[in-house]
Amino acid sequence: MQKIIIDTDPGQDDAVAILLALASPELQVLGITCVAGNVPLPLTTLNARKICELAGRTDIEIFAGCDAPIKRKLITAEHVHGKTGLDGIELPAPTMPLQDQHAVDFIIETLRAAQDHEITLCPLGPLTNIATALTRAPDIAIKIKQIVLMGGAYFEVGNITPTAEFNIYVDPEAAEIVFKSGIDLVVLPLDATHKVLTTRARMDRIKALNTQIAQAVISWTDFFERFDMEKYGSDGAPLHDPCVIAYLLQPDIFTGRYINVEIETQSQLTLGMTVADWWGVSGRKANATFMGDVRADAFYELLTQRLSQL
Ligand code: RIB
Ligand code: CA
């Protein structure tokens, strides 16, 4: 059983990732920590509660974290996710509570109580909570088994600017702290996530499950995919965040390289770029396993099978 903390800014794709994690007995979700990103913090926490309630998991502890990047103004993505951040099916107002403890304190306290290298952190949004915890309590680093995050891009370049992926762009200083932490990092960048498109055939198989969960997932992807389909002219949109959970469950469907990845924090033009030394030309020390490819059909096979269990 892998002990994980999901740090998230739901977000339709975050929602599917959370459902995939809750449907997988290999994973013990110790808590869900919310961060400002796709939409402001009050909405990401509300959405996380709606998602857990939809999954019948009111036992999951949900925490509110940082409501803005470490040193910059928050940039959100309502243009992709809608004004609620979870546009699609109308879900009832949640009854499950939001925990009183701040997400960063939860992360620190949980890690301090753990064994060395015991807990995997799964950031699905800007890295503000993770970086704040590492800065406030450097002693927790040894307790982290891996940080498996969705963020960055190399061959796919940017999705919010010509050179930056959204999660990194929102808080590049936080990303720099995480990427320089020396912690075992696995990065699921756009290079991988752009290969798991919500094609009609794949979504029809999920729809055929004919469950409330499947209906919710389809309503979210129907809404979420229009932005990318208009922009890229693709058949479907990338289902970014579930790639993090799929990696935990079936790492061998992903391929990548252990390389140096550094974050641009100074240039206005390329702020938030993940400078991935894919070809090993920089001589800089490798610090991350950066995924470049994924077996998309295997990914959707896994996702559909697990959603059928919820
Ligand atoms: O760039 C894609 C990432 O930004 C995903 O995590 C999506 O949810 C948004 O947060
Ligand atoms: Ca996200």
Taking the centre of ligand 2 as the mean of its atom positions, its distance from the CA of residue 182, in whole angstroms, is: 23
CA distance 42 to 36: 8
Q: pLDDT band at 64, cuts 50/70/90?
A: very high
Ligand at shortest distance from the CA of 243: 1
Residue-range domains of the chain with CATH: 2-307 (3.90.245.10)
Residues 102-124: what's their mean pLDDT? 98
> Over pLDDT 90: what percentage of the chain?
97
Q: 70: Cβ–Cβ under 8 A, 6 or more apart, which residues?
A: 128, 131, 132, 171, 173, 174
pTM over 0.95: yes
Q: pLDDT band at 2, cuts 50/70/90?
A: very high
User: Could you tell me if the CB of 9 is within 6 A of ligand 1?
Assistant: yes
> Over pLDDT 70: what percentage of the chain?
100
CA distance 151 to 268: 19
Tokens of 162: 């010509």
Q: pLDDT band at 38, cuts 50/70/90?
A: very high
CA distance 64 to 31: 11
Pocket test for ligand 1, best of 9, 169, 221 (most atoms within 8 A of CB): 9
User: Could you tell me if the CB of 228 is within 6 A of ligand 1?
Assistant: no
| Packed helices 12-22 and 242-249: angle between N→C axes, nearest 10 degrees | 20
Q: Within 10 A of 275 (CB to CB), how many other CB atoms are there?
A: 16
Q: For 122-132, how does the pLDDT look when each residue is reduced to its tens digit (9 = 90+)? A: 999 999 999 99
Taking the centre of ligand 2 as the mean of its atom positions, its distance from the CA of residue 133, in whole angstroms, is: 19
CA 56 → CA 22, 59, 90, 190, 297, distances in Å?
A: 10, 8, 16, 31, 28
User: Could you tell me if the CB of 244 is within 6 A of ligand 1?
Assistant: no
Q: For 182-227, how does the pLDDT look when each residue is reduced to its tens digit (9 = 90+)? A: 999 999 999 999 999 999 999 999 999 999 999 999 999 999 999 8
pLDDT for the residue 20 = 98
Burial class (CB in 10 A: 0-12, 13-18, 19+), 238: buried
| 102 in active site | no
